[in-house]
Amino acid sequence: MDKKTSQIIDFVRGLYNIENEFIPLHKPFLEGNEKKYLNECIDSTFVSSVGKFVNRFEKNLEEYTGSKHAIVCVNGTNAIHVALRLAGVKEGDEVITQALTFIATANAIMYSNAIPVFVDVDIDTMGLSPKALKLFLDDNAVVKNNQCYNKKTGRRIKACLPMHTFGHACRIEELLKVCADYNIELVEDAAESMGSFLGDKHLGTFGKLSVISFNGNKIMTTGGGGVILTNDIELAQKAKHLTTQCKVQHSWEYVHDDIGYNYRMPNINAAIGVAQLEQLPYFIKSKREIAKKYASFFSDLKGISFFDERTEEESNFWLNAIILEDKKSKDEFLKQTNSLGIMTRPIWKLMDKLPMFLNCPKGNLDNSEWLEDRVINIPSSVI
C-alpha cells in the first residue's frame, strides 16, 4: 500500500473513530422517533398506503422544500416514471439526460417506452451541462408546431431529465432556459438532493416537476421511497391519482378510469420518513462538517482533489467524492481501501456503455468519460 492511501485510511478511521471494524459508505441514521412512529402505525393497523403518516409526511415535505405539493411514492424510480408521464412523455419520444447518472434515471425513461438521449456534464457540477445541451439541440433539433423534433431520428424530443449529482446542484436555471427555447419540458431528478439548496431554493423546486429519493442509502430514508414535487395543483392531483391505480373515489365501489400504478408510499414507510425529516437539520450539519474536514485534508494531498460545492449552493454532501489523477490510480485506490475495510465506490459506469443503451442517441461525452475514470465516493455517514 502506498503512503498516500495509508494516510487516507488513517484519516477516515480517525474521522469515524473506528480502528479496525468495517466502515460503510453511507449507513442510515435511525436514532430519532422511528420506532415510536412505527409502533403507532402498527397499532393503528393502517400500514399500507392510507394512514396519517402518509399525509403528515407529505405536508412536512412541502414545508421543508417550499414546494406546494408533495406526492410520496414507493421509490424514486417510479416517481420519475410518473413525473415523465405527467410531463407528456409518450411512447417513441426522446428524453435527454446525462450519461453520468445512476441507472434509475435511464430506466425510468425506458419504463415510459421512450428513448434516452445522453448528453455531457459539467466537470465542476457532475450534472447535465447547459452548454452541451444547447450544442446538441442546435445541431440536432428543430421546433415545428411548438414541438421539438430530432432531425436525425425524426422522433419528438419531449423532455429533459437533469440530475443533481451527489446532492450538488447542476446549472438548473440555465438548463431551464435552454429547454424553454426549444419547447422541451424539464423534469428535475433531485433524487440525491434532500436538504440541498441553490441560493434560497431547495433543489427539486426549479422544474415544473421533480423527484427526490428516500432509498436506504440516502441522506434520509424511508427504507424505500420517493416523492414527486410540483407547484401545479392539477399535476399534483393527477400524480396522486396515477400512483393509486387511478381509482375513482367511492365509499365501496371499485372503479378505475385509466391505467394507473401501485406506487403510493405505505404508511409504515412514511412513519419512518416523518422521524427522519425531524432529524434532517442535524444530518445536514454533520455531513457538512465531515465534508469540511475532508476538504481540508485533501487540500494538502497531491494528486487527489476533493469535490466541493460551488459558492452559490449549499450542498447536503450526500456522498463525498474525490477525483484521482487517472483510471489506474482510481482502480488501485479502490482495491486497497476495500481490502482494508474502508468501503469506497467508483462513480457509475456511463449509461451509453451499458448493453441496453448502446444504440441510444448521444452527444460528445468527453467530460463524463474523464470523470468516470477518476471519481471515487468515500465514507460519508452521519457522525
- CA distances for 280 relative to 55, 71, 195, 211, 222, angstroms: 19, 19, 7, 18, 13
Can you point out the beta strands (E) in 31-129?
69-73, 94-98, 115-119
Residue 302 lies in a domain: no
Residue 93 domain-assigned?
Answer: yes
First to last CA, the chain: 27
pLDDT of residue 167: 97
For residue 352, tell me if it sits in a domain. Answer: no
Q: Per-residue pLDDT for 49 more than 90?
A: no
Q: What is the 3-state secondary structure (H, E, C) of 132-193?
A: HHHHHHHHHEEEECCEEEECCCCCEEEEEECECHHHCCCCHHHHHHHHHHCCCEEEEECCCC
Helices (H), 192-266: 233-243
- Which residue segment(s) compose the domain that 185 sits in? 34-278
pTM of the model: 0.96
Q: What is the mean pLDDT of residues 8-28?
A: 96
299-336 tens-digit pLDDT:
989 999 999 999 999 999 999 999 999 999 999 999 99
Asked, for residue 18, whether it belongs to a domain, the answer is no
CATH number at residue 52: 3.40.640.10
Q: What is the mean pLDDT of residues 19-30?
A: 96
Bridge partner residues of 306 (DSSP):
322
The reply to whether 80 falls in a domain is yes
Asked if pLDDT for residue 56 goes beyond 90, the answer is: yes
- Rounded Cα gap, residues 50 and 124, in angstroms: 42
d(CA 110, CA 98): 14
| Whether the predicted pLDDT of 250 surpasses 90 | no
Pairwise CA distance, residues 262 & 265, whole Å: 9
Contacts of 185 (CB under 8 A, 6+ apart): 87, 88, 89, 158, 159, 160, 179, 208, 209
The per-residue b/e assignment along 53-62, b for 16 or more CB within 10 angstroms, e otherwise, is: bbebbbebbe
The helix (run of H) or strand (run of E) holding residue 331 is helix 327-339
Return mean pLDDT, the chain: 97
At residue 161, φ and ψ (nearest 5 deg) are -130, 80
Number of domains in the chain: 1
Is residue 308 a part of any domain in this protein?
Answer: no
Q: What Å distances lie between residue 368 and 123, 204, 278, 350, 365, CA to CA?
A: 8, 23, 36, 7, 5
117 lies in a domain? yes
